[in-house]
């Protein structure tokens, strides 16, 4: 039974038997992620005092400018997971290809791969807006003890064994699921410990917030345009409130607590969508469903989309279930 103010370490140990593959390995993996999160949090919170803001001068595989903190967070998470010898492979939004982890033990039995967006929303760091880390964990499908292959990463979201995010904001929180609900832990910076602050998090069935970059309105599919007009109409409990931070973790976190919907549809600038299926959409979809919400590409369940490449992009609609269902109706009626 989850108890408020229980530490994350205590919670993981107490609940590891709820996980059907329980062997202690997943618990150690989650502990590594919480450690890396604390290190990145320390850097994020002193961003205005040292030379770690701004562009790093490189671009990632998507052609986006890498921020200095993108590079730093990527290195910290990879180093922490590698040094602790608990994963067999890592894929990151900031890396061109997946990373094969060669265990120090020749007979290594590591079973898990981690996919991550090390610093979601990092372009906001210069203006002191919340950013986050997103992670997704799968059991490998190739034989244990052999080098990981692409197929170990290209798995549908419903095969995830855990997923979560860390939001670096006015307080720093780690929110995760292993398929038994969603729980949130807040970092006490004075003690360096994470404490259960938001047990059994749930999306309200309905909400009054819609989150979308309306600057791209003319580029949106007709169904999304009509849904936005619906949100803005003065009728019943509408108009809804428009709230868009530009950091997926932050927008998702707010909407899960208060009730709302997040949308990043495709358009002529992003014909396949903007967000990455494996690093952003799939883990957030797992969290949303475990919290009673829904996540889709406007038509299909995100968790059932078959990945075909590491950096695949898809349209993304996620949030309170009745709001997502309403978007489906608009998309089916008005289409692209």
Confidence category of residue 176, pLDDT binned at 50, 70, 90? very high
- State the maximum Cα–Cα separation within the chain, in Å, rounded to a whole number: 66
Enumerate the β-bridge partners of residue 115: 91, 136
The H helix count followed by the E strand count for the chain is 7, 17
Region 106-134: mean pLDDT is 85
* Predicted TM-score of the model (pTM): 0.92
Q: Is position 30 annotated in a ligand binding site?
A: no
Q: Which of 34-43, 90-99, 147-156, 273-282 has the lowest mean pLDDT?
A: 34-43
The stretches of the chain forming alpha helices (DSSP H) are 8-15, 25-44, 68-83, 222-232, 248-258, 282-290, 321-334
Consult the annotation and say whether 35 binds a ligand.
no
Tokens 């593959």 -> residue: 21
- Which residue segments constitute the domains of the chain, with CATH numbers given? 8-198 (3.30.540.10), 209-334 (3.40.190.80)
Confidence band (pLDDT; 50, 70, 90) for 129?
confident
Known binding residue 121? Answer is yes
What is the 8-class DSSP label of residue 127? G
> Tokens 């229980």 — which residue?
6
Known binder of ligand: residue 320? Answer: no
Task: Please indicate if the annotation marks 244 as binding a ligand.
Answer: yes
Q: Is 122 annotated as a binding residue?
A: yes
């Amino acid at each position: 039974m989850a108890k408020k103010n229980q530490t994350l370490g205590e919670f993981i140990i107490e609940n590891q038997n709820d996980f059907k593959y329980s062997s202690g390995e997943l618990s150690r993996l989650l502990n590594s992620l919480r450690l890396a999160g604390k290190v990145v949090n320390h850097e994020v919170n002193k961003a205005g005092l040292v030379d770690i803001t701004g562009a790093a001068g490189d671009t990632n595989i998507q052609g986006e400018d890498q921020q200095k903190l993108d590079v730093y967070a990527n290195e910290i998470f990879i180093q922490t997971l590698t040094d602790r010898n608990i994963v067999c492979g890592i894929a990151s939004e900031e890396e061109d290809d997946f990373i094969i982890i060669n265990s120090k033990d020749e007979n290594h039995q590591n079973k898990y791969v981690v996919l991550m967006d090390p610093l979601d929303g990092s372009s906001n760091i210069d203006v002191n807006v919340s950013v986050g880390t997103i992670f997704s964990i799968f059991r490998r499908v190739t034989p244990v003890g052999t080098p990981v292959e692409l197929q170990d990463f290209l798995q549908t979201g419903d095969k995830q064994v855990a997923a979560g995010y860390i939001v670096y904001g006015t307080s720093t929180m780690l929110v995760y699921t292993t398929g038994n609900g969603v729980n949130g832990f807040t970092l006490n910076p004075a003690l360096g410990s994470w404490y259960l602050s938001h047990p059994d998090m749930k999306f309200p069935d309905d909400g009054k917030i819609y989150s979308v970059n309306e600057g791209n309105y003319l580029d949106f599919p007709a169904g999304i345009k009509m849904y936005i007009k619906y949100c803005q109409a003065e009728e019943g409990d509408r108009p809804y409130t428009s709230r868009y931070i530009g950091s997926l973790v932050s927008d998702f976190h707010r909407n899960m607590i208060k009730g709302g919907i997040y949308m990043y549809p495709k358009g002529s600038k992003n014909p396949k969508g903007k967000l990455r299926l494996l690093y952003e959409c799939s883990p957030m979809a797992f969290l949303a469903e475990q919290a009673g919400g829904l996540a889709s590409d406007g038509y299909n369940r995100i968790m059932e989309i078959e990945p075909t490449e590491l950096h695949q992009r898809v349209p993304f609609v996620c949030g309170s279930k009745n709001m997502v269902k309403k978007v489906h109706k608009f998309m089916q009626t008005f289409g692209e």
